[in-house]
Chains A and B, each alone.
Chain A
Amino acid sequence: AQRVTQPEKLLSVFKGAPVELKCNYSYSGSPELFWYVQYSRQRLQLLLRHISRESIKGFTADLNKGETSFHLKKPFAQEEDSAMYYCALLGGGKLIFGQGTELSVKP
């Protein structure tokens, strides 16, 4: 079955601390994985995709096929990073989302 699991509903860190939002997936085949973000009162938007191997707003995510993980990391969290983060898998042409992790960065 195709599934995305985000084990943490809420992650709270202090400004300047490192952040890691966990994502594990289940997919038979070569996965295409994404992180989407939703800031307060804004719409869901793409943060990054693994095929681009990019760093956006200081965030990176590495696909680990052995551990079936795609964790999102940032070395120094900023208050403006506070948002809902969703990991998603492209399966059969449609996005399969995890339950989301709310990141709260405290001053």
Chain B
Amino acid sequence: GAGVSQSPRYKVAKRGQDVALRCDPISGHVSLFWYQQALGQGPEFLTYFQNEAQLDKSGLPSDRFFAERPEGSVSTLKIQRTQQEDSAVYLCASSSDRGAYNEQFFGPGTRLTVL
């Protein structure tokens, strides 16, 4: 079956522009995670959804970052008024549940470059 997909794969934005990044999780997966991976670093947690409920947004770096999953499947991460420090790879992952026995499956990522 299809894995986690993300679009676009690459995005170049001018400083101050708004961007929207999309994640299509594996069908039926309840849990969805967003991570930010800066160059040379490991992924850092941004936010978590269980179905349509955003249960944890403790990793969002500022109020310019907003995520939604209105119907409990596709999710969108929106960044308003992008800044150069937002340049990173944004990873989406889904799992059938949140526990340690449930593997998180990662998408290919969206590489965002803010000029």
Collect the chain B residues with CB atoms within 8 Å of residue A45's CB. 105-106
Q: How far is the CA of A88 from the CA of B37 in the complex (A)?
A: 14
Verify B98–A93 contact, CB threshold 8 A: yes
How many chain-B residues does the 8 Å CB contact rule pick out? 24
B interface SS class: loop
- CB closest residue in chain B, given A90: B100
Partner of B42, one of A32, A49, A86, A94: A86
Collect the chain A residues with CB atoms within 8 Å of residue B109's CB. 43
Q: How far is the CA of A94 from the CA of B102 in the complex (A)?
A: 12
Partner of B100, one of A32, A44, A86, A100: A32
Q: A94-B48, A94-B56 are in contact. Are A51 and B43 (CB under 8 A)?
A: no
Partner of B106, one of A9, A43, A49, A100: A43
Residue B107 is within 8 A (CB to CB) of chain A in the complex: yes
A residues engaging B (CB < 8 A)? 4, 6, 9, 32, 43-46, 49, 51, 86, 88, 90, 92-100
